[in-house]
Every structure is written in C-alpha cells, then in structure tokens.
Amino acid sequence: MIKIALYGKGGIGKSTCTSNLSAAFSKLGLKVIQIGCDPKADSTINLLHGDPVTPVMDYMRIHDEEPDKIGQISKVGYGGVVCIETGGPTPGLGCAGRGIITTFSLLEELELFDTVKPDVVLYDVLGDVVCGGFAAPIREGYAEKVLIVSSGEKMALYAANNINSAVKNFEDRSYAKVRGIIMNRRSVENEEEKVRAFADKAGLEIVADIPRSADIIKYEDMGMTCVEGDPDCETSKRFIELARLLMSEDKQDD
C-alpha cells in the first residue's frame, strides 16, 4: 500500500496537489483514500464537486458521540476516492492536534483500511509539524513517505526546511521519511534555482514540477481537480507522472 503525507507552508497548494495526486492515482486504476488533516476541512472539496463531507470533529460535535460506520464520516468522490476530513475544534478553542489523533484512533476502530482495502492513502496535513497531533500522520502504521510542497518563495522554503528537520528528528523512530519536494511554481523569479538549491542542501529530490497554470484555478472554480477537468493538460500530466513514479517505487519496495 502506498501511504504518503503531504506537508508544506499554509496556502502553498497542499490540498490542490493532494487531490490532484489522488485523482491521478485513481485514473491509473488504484483505490484511493484521501484524509484531510486540517481544521479548515477543505482538502477534498475538489474531489467532491463542491459538496463537502462531514468532518469527523463536526460529526462528534453535532451528535455528541462517535460515528459507528465509515459512511457517516466519508464520501466517495471523483474516481472512487474515499474522502475523509478530520476537521477541528471550534476556532479559538480546544486542541486541533488532539483532533487528528482522535480521528486516527476512530478510523482504526472503524477498521477503515480493512473495509475500503485501499491501494493508496494520502494524508493532507496542515502547514508545519507543530505538535504531536500534526506528527501523527507520519507515525508507524500511517504514512511511510512525506512529500513537501514548496514554491520558490522564501517563507515556503523556510517552512519546507522546518518540516524536513522535524521529520529528521524522528530518525530513531520508525516514522515516515521525506521522499522529496513537489515544486509548486508560483511565478517567482529564478524559482527552479531557488528550490533546487534548497533541495541539494537538504539532500532531497524534486519529485514533481507543477507549472503555474490557469487550468488549476479554472477547474477548482468548477469544483473539480485539474486531472478530472482535463487529464491531458500539462499540469495533469505532471501529477499522473508523479503517481506513476510512486507506484513503481512501491512495487520495488514490495
């Protein structure tokens, strides 16, 4: 099973990359689960044509009890992708990190993987590895690889460096390892050089180069991913290429 967590600076395009990657995997015939781990709960919206799934935390808040069926907290989106959102506490209250851990425990209790039998699980995680909760997706049994989404912007690279360092801190534990960087271009001057310089220094590979494209915005406005809207456009091809790369690596690992 391919299990990957995507991290990156807030607003850098993690959800866009994750849902396009999910769509790309499903286009290649794989069964995918995408779990949004952000209190904003907007990771999977473009796989669901704008009709969002009830986040786990919202379900618990409304019903004052845990769900007892996967269907109560999931929706099937484009290409059969099973979409789940952890959601979070009331803004300004509670603990969002703890919400992620609670959701993961619940998904285990509901035997999500045994029920859905996915080939791929993608975790779309908020910003940085800021606390134990936000490190939960990279713990043993969850993601095995981390992809860091970054542009050539200074703060995006700063966040990428923090994430890489945080994951390295867990080298003694059986946590996920950073697989590489998804360069999500933002039309920054000398963007490729800047990202490449960081990648070289950190010893990381740029595994995908996503062009700045109006297609992404066009199809997101229509409530879908670029891969769904136009699988033959350059952006979609890059995501499908990345999915193929990760599939072949998974086969080699097996």
Partner 1 sequence: MKNVARIIPCYAADTSGVCSALYELGGLTVVHDASGCNSTYSTHDEPRWYDMRSKIYISALTELDSVLGNDEKFISDVVSAAHDQKPEFIALCGSPMPMMTGFDYDAVAAEIENRSGIKTIALHTNGMNSYIDGASEALCEIVKAYAEEDQNIVNGINVLGLTPLDFTLGSDKDIRDWLKYYNFECVCTLAMGSTLDDIRRMGSAALNLVVSQSGMAAAEYMLKEFCIPYVCAVPYGKLFSKKLASHMASLIRDPLNFSPFVLPCDGFPEADTVVIGEGISAGSLAAALWSDMKVEAKPLCTLPSHSFFTAKCGGQLTAEEDIEAYLKETSPKTVIADPLYQYIVPDNTRFIALPHFAFSGRCFQKDMRSLINKNIKEYFK
Residue ranges in contact with partner 1 by CB under 8 A: 95, 97-98, 101, 131-133, 135-136, 139-140, 170, 172-175
Own/partner contacts of 169-172, CB < 8 Å, gap of 24 or more, are 170/135, 170/138
From the CB of 167, what's the least distance to partner 1, in Å?
A: 13
Residues in the chain: 254
The residue among 131 and 222 lying less far from partner 1, judged by its C-beta, is 131
Q: Which of 31, 40, 75, 237 is catalytic?
A: 40
Q: Which of 9, 27, 145, 194 is catalytic?
A: 9
Is 250 known to be catalytic? no
| Angle formed at CA 169 by CA 167 and CA 173, multiple of 5 degrees | 85
The residue among 131 and 217 lying less far from partner 1, judged by its C-beta, is 131
Is 145 known to be catalytic? no
Burial 196-219 (b: 16+ CB within 10 A, else e): eebbeebebebbbbbeebeebeeb
The residue among 106 and 135 lying less far from partner 1, judged by its C-beta, is 135
Is 194 known to be catalytic? no
From the CB of 113, what's the least distance to partner 1, in Å?
A: 18
The residue among 83 and 136 lying less far from partner 1, judged by its C-beta, is 136
Q: Is the CB of residue 130 less than 8 Å from the CB of residue 97?
A: yes
Residues 6+ apart with CB under 8 A from 199: 180, 181, 205, 206
* Residue 239 to residue 21: CA distance in whole angstroms: 6
| Residue 1 three-state SS | coil
From the CB of 139, what's the least distance to partner 1, in Å?
A: 6
From the CB of 29, what's the least distance to partner 1, in Å?
A: 34
From the CB of 175, what's the least distance to partner 1, in Å?
A: 7
Distance from CA of residue 139 to its chain's centroid? 15
The residue among 90 and 252 lying less far from partner 1, judged by its C-beta, is 90
Q: Which of 42, 119, 128, 209 is catalytic?
A: 128
- In 3D space, the residue among 142, 88, 100 whose CA is nearest the CA of residue 118 turns out to be 142
Q: Indicate which residues carry an active-site annotation.
A: 9, 14, 40, 128
